[in-house]
Amino acid sequence: MAISLSTITGAAVTGLTSPTYTVTADNAITGFAKQWLVSGTGGTQTGVDVHTIDKVFTISFSRSNPKPLPPADPKTGIISNIPMNTYKIIGRKGVIPSANQGIKNCMIRTEISIPAGSTAYEPEDIRALVSAYIGSLSQQSDNIATMLLTGVV
């Protein structure tokens, strides 16, 4: 995989001033994944903890075993069952839900499914989807954080 995470410049979120995250490569769960742990923070992030064994702060990227586009039916020219190649991005952050309680993990999962063959036939549309999706997340980062805290969409 081409993913090589380095220091992350955090998106604008109320209460965090110029947030940055120093990451260190970590062992991923599978051979089809890469993972990093947050080993340091920068900017003003009062109370934000870095990764520990007990209170995780990780970001991982993984993929399924890739499947090629199968041949078309010789009579009809139709491919009846187009497989999907799946990619996942998972962020985990340990938090304490209340006083005297154990640590629980917050988790963000993004799963991307791409029909086999489309990467060669229409790569520009896949790039546009990724650009629009990540741009919308970046644009709405503070509103997403507020939605998670207030429950208001």
Report the C-alpha gap between 90 and 1 in whole angstroms.
Answer: 15
Q: Compute the average pLDDT of residues 126-141.
A: 89
pLDDT one-digit tens code per residue, 2-36: 888 899 999 989 999 999 999 999 998 888 899 99
Does the predicted TM-score (pTM) go above 0.75?
Answer: yes
Beta bridge partners of 36: 25, 59
* Dist CA 92 CA 51 (whole Å): 10
Looking at the domain assignment, is residue 129 inside a domain?
A: no
* Residue 121 maps to a domain: no
pLDDT digits (tens, 9 = 90+) for 50-102: 999 999 999 999 998 889 999 999 999 999 999 999 999 999 999 999 999 99
Residue 64 maps to a domain: yes
| pLDDT value, residue 84 | 94
Q: What is the CATH number of the domain that holds 19?
A: 2.40.160
The 3 state secondary structure assigned to the chain is CCCCCCCEECCCECCEEEEEEEEEEECCCCCCEEEEEEEEEEEECCCCCCCCCCCCEEEEEEECCCCCCCCCCCCCCCCCCCCEEEEEEEEEEEECCCCCCCCEEEEEEEEEEEECCHHHHCHHHHHHHHHHHHHHHHHCHHHHHHHHHHCCC
Asked whether residue 132 carries a pLDDT value surpassing 90, the answer given is no
Q: Is residue 96 part of a domain?
A: yes
Q: Which domain holds residue 74?
A: 8-116
Could you tell me if residue 135 is inside a domain?
no
Residue 82 lies in a domain: yes
Residue with tokens 């996942």: 88
Split into its structural domains, the chain has a count of 1
For residue 108, report the phi and psi dihedrals to the nearest 5 degrees.
Answer: -115, 125
